A and B are shown apart, each in its own frame.
Chain A
Amino acid sequence: MIRKIKAERIKDTVKELLLQANYEIGTDILEELSNSLNREESATGKSVLQQIIDNHQIARQERIAICQDTGMAVVFVNLGQEVHITGGDFTEAVNQGVKEAYTEGYLRKSVVEDPLFGRKNTGDNTPAVIHLELVPGDKVKIQVMTKGFGSENMSRGKMLLPSAGVQGVTDFVIETVQEAGPNPCPPLVIGVGIGGTLEMAARIAKIALMREIGHPNSDSRYAVLEKELKERVNELGIGPAGLGGRITALAVNVEYYPTHIAGLPVVVNINCHAARHTAAEI
């Protein structure tokens, strides 16, 4: 049985999700910030964490963007195969939602039309980066992330050799976070994608960033790896805003995918403490 969903509904949903993401941080992040404030030993670190918590309250109450870098819109859509989108083009609907959110919501337009030549601002924060996956069922799940580039710029990928193993992955994560230092606005949410191909590792690293904090990987081996990586990252002492302290990571989330006999791709996608993402199901 085919279920019809109007393109306009896709547009409206994307718009609402982006507005919400930019003004209201997730309660999981807020709780983890609060826990971190209790655990942080550095006075400067505590003061930075308090500013961040206060900032979320101001943003939510006054509907001002949490961060001026309102990001590039990344939209993940799980489209049920029983769904028929009617009354318009799907991609255009997503981009129209982005345009309306960023224009009507007083959000910064940060997208340029060509990465190399001219770098002219598109003026409405379009286009979004869209990841579409066809899934069973007649629902449409939309997840949006407003990804800032202070942290995106410090993200790294590497094609490790299989022999590098857990140690190789751990070293690469630590090296990446150390090199990033204060630039990506710690405390961080760190998404690690392991396996697949070059682009699949990057894709699942981004998906890892959208997992709620406090929900470890369902595979206990990866859950242990996540815990160990978080501890190692926090031993670096980078601390809130990179000024020194115990809390460098709010979470490390790992996702994996089968890979080739010859390969071990790893992508470390770093998110700042303002890890803004929301989701809805139509």
Chain B
Amino acid sequence: MDKNKRIQTPLTVQQAAELKVGDNILFSGVIYTARDAAHRRLAELLKEGKPLPIELEDQVLYYVGPAPAPPGHVCGAAGPTTSTRMDSYTPPLIAKGLRGMIGKGLRSKAVIEAMKKHGAVYFAATGGAAALISKSIKKVEVVAYEDLGTEAIHRMYVEDFPCIVVIDSYGNNLYESGPQQYRTC
């Protein structure tokens, strides 16, 4: 197994270029959350040529809608949601400088093309390992769309947040190469 690579966010284009599929990553620093409803709003703002509530350049978006934090916890269970639902909104965000996306599940051709063109990377966190992942989240604050509740954009401060590079900035895709290696039919 590849050794863990520790990465401090923001994620620069140079750092992104060095990442290869299968690399185990531990993120520390700030990441932003956004899922379906927040993406819809971001896409509308871009369409209207209006400024976004967060600066996307070299940032990492985490596709998650956390569970409420129980007393004594910073964050409730917070595992990745299916990225595929964000596909239609994603290419313009990547064009705006979005460097990393953490989620789980397949991405569209259009997203992968945008990643290759602009040097972005797609990471998978383990779906359903939400209690374990919440341990690496040290602080959470809402930065936009508070009315969306769990779907609001949150700024998360993370330490050693575990994920793996599934699609690198060259378009190599572990969701294709991984299963191919073990397919026996």
Contact = CB atoms under 8 A, between A and B. Distances in A.
Interface of A: 41-44, 47-48, 51-52, 54-55, 58-59, 62-70, 106-110, 121, 150, 153, 181-183, 185, 232, 235-239, 241-246, 272-274
B128 A236 contact: no
Contacts of A237: 178-184
Contacts of B69: 106
5 contacts: A66-B131, A68-B76, A69-B81, A106-B67, A245-B182
Contacts of A65: 67, 76-77, 130-131
A244 B180 contact: yes
Contacts of A246: 182
B79 interface: yes
Most buried by A among B65, B127, B181: B127
Interface of B: 1, 22, 24, 64-70, 73, 76-79, 81-82, 84, 104-106, 124, 126-132, 134-135, 149-150, 162, 164, 166, 174-175, 177-185
B162 A51 contact: yes
A41 B76 CA distance: 32
Q: Chain A at the B interface: mostly helix, strand, loop or mixed?
A: loop
Contact of A182 (B24, B65, B105, B185): B105
Given A51-B129, A66-B77, A246-B182, 11 more contacts: A52-B128, A58-B135, A65-B67, A67-B127, A68-B64, A68-B77, A108-B65, A243-B174, A244-B177, A244-B181, A272-B127
A66 B126 CA distance: 12
Contact of B128 (A62, A63, A64, A273): A273
B180 A106 contact: no
A70 B150 CA distance: 12
B106 to A, nearest CB: 6
A9 to B, nearest CB: 26
Contacts of B65: 68-69, 108, 110
A171 to B, nearest CB: 12
Given A65-B76, A68-B66, A68-B76, A243 B164 contact: yes
